[in-house]
Chains A and B, each alone.
Chain A
Amino acid sequence: DIQMTQSPSSLSASVGDRVTITCRASQGISNYLAWFQQKPGKAPKSLIYAASSLQSGVPSKFSGSGSGTDFTLTISSLQPEDFATYYCQQYNSYPWTFGQGTRVEI
């Protein structure tokens, strides 16, 4: 199975900060990497697919990059509604696997 490792596991930030979360795959996954945002008690929300494609309706402050084994999610200017947990997921090969999550808090 492909292991997905996110860092950091949690971070504290302020409104207006630029935040970067990294995700590393244990083997190459091309660009089959997605990012999700999840708030407590809610289903995950898709932000990015194919490593850098923005999901419809998602604000452009979210961006993704990377290919192969190393990927990043960047939030350009953190807003109160962005405080949540973020997950990466590889969908290059079964079983699809998620990172352990990064909690973004104030």
Chain B
Amino acid sequence: QVQLVQSGAEVKRPGASVRVSCKASGYTFTNYYLHWVRQAPGQGLEWMGVIDPTSGSTTYAQTFQGRVTMTRDTSTRTVYMELSSLRSEDTAVYYCTRYYGGDSPLFDYWGQGTLVTVYS
């Protein structure tokens, strides 16, 4: 069965970086784009960016340009999202989710979420 399993919760100081992982299983890893979406406490959903596991190419939301880096390791079927220069506003649950593309179902599977807490 399809699974996206994320790494555990993180607590970071302002100015630090965090790396969240998302390990995929149950499907052909390179067939689906992996997206990252975050949700601050009590707030809505915010799209952060996407990585193509085949080529490694990425597209990021302008909000995060210069602070976010998405990478992948095809040997372990894992994608990573690193966010740097953390501030308190980055406290959120971070989700990975997948999309095949075109007219296929959007975001049919999600990771369980990773809580990142930034506090001084």
- Footprint of B on A, CB under 8 Å? 1, 34, 36, 38, 43-46, 49-50, 53, 55-56, 87, 89, 91, 94-101
| B contact residues around A53 at 8 Å (CB) | 103, 105
> B105 contacts A49, CB within 8 Å?
yes
| A contact residues around B106 at 8 Å (CB) | 34, 46, 49-50, 89, 91
How many positions in chain B have a CB within 8 Å of any CB in the partner chain? 23
Interface residues of B in 63-99 (CB under 8 A from A): 63, 95, 97, 99
| B contact residues around A89 at 8 Å (CB) | 45, 47, 106
Bound together, the chains give a CA A87 to CA B62 distance in angstroms of: 21
| B contact residues around A101 at 8 Å (CB) | 44-45
B113 contacts A by Cβ under 8 Å: yes
| A contact residues around B29 at 8 Å (CB) | none
**Closest CB of chain B to A93's CB: distance in Å?**
11
**Closest CB of chain B to A9's CB: distance in Å?**
10
Majority secondary structure, B binding face:
strand
B46 contacts A by Cβ under 8 Å: yes
| B contact residues around A34 at 8 Å (CB) | 106-107
- Footprint of A on B, CB under 8 Å? 35, 37, 44-47, 59, 61-63, 95, 97, 99, 103-108, 110-113
Bound together, the chains give a CA A94 to CA B59 distance in angstroms of: 8
Q: Which of B46, B59, B97, B103 contacts A50 (CB 8 A)?
A: B103
> B105 contacts A100, CB within 8 Å?
no
| A contact residues around B45 at 8 Å (CB) | 36, 38, 44, 87, 89, 98, 101
Bound together, the chains give a CA A91 to CA B44 distance in angstroms of: 17
Given contacts A43-B112, A45-B110, A55-B105, 15 further A-B contacts (CB under 8 A): A36-B45, A38-B45, A43-B111, A44-B45, A44-B110, A46-B106, A46-B108, A50-B106, A56-B105, A89-B45, A91-B99, A91-B106, A95-B62, A99-B44, A100-B44
Chain A to chain B contacts (Cβ below 8 Å), 25 pairs: A1-B62, A38-B45, A43-B95, A43-B97, A43-B111, A44-B107, A45-B110, A46-B108, A49-B106, A50-B103, A50-B106, A53-B103, A53-B105, A56-B105, A87-B45, A89-B45, A89-B47, A89-B106, A94-B59, A95-B47, A95-B61, A95-B62, A96-B47, A99-B44, A100-B44
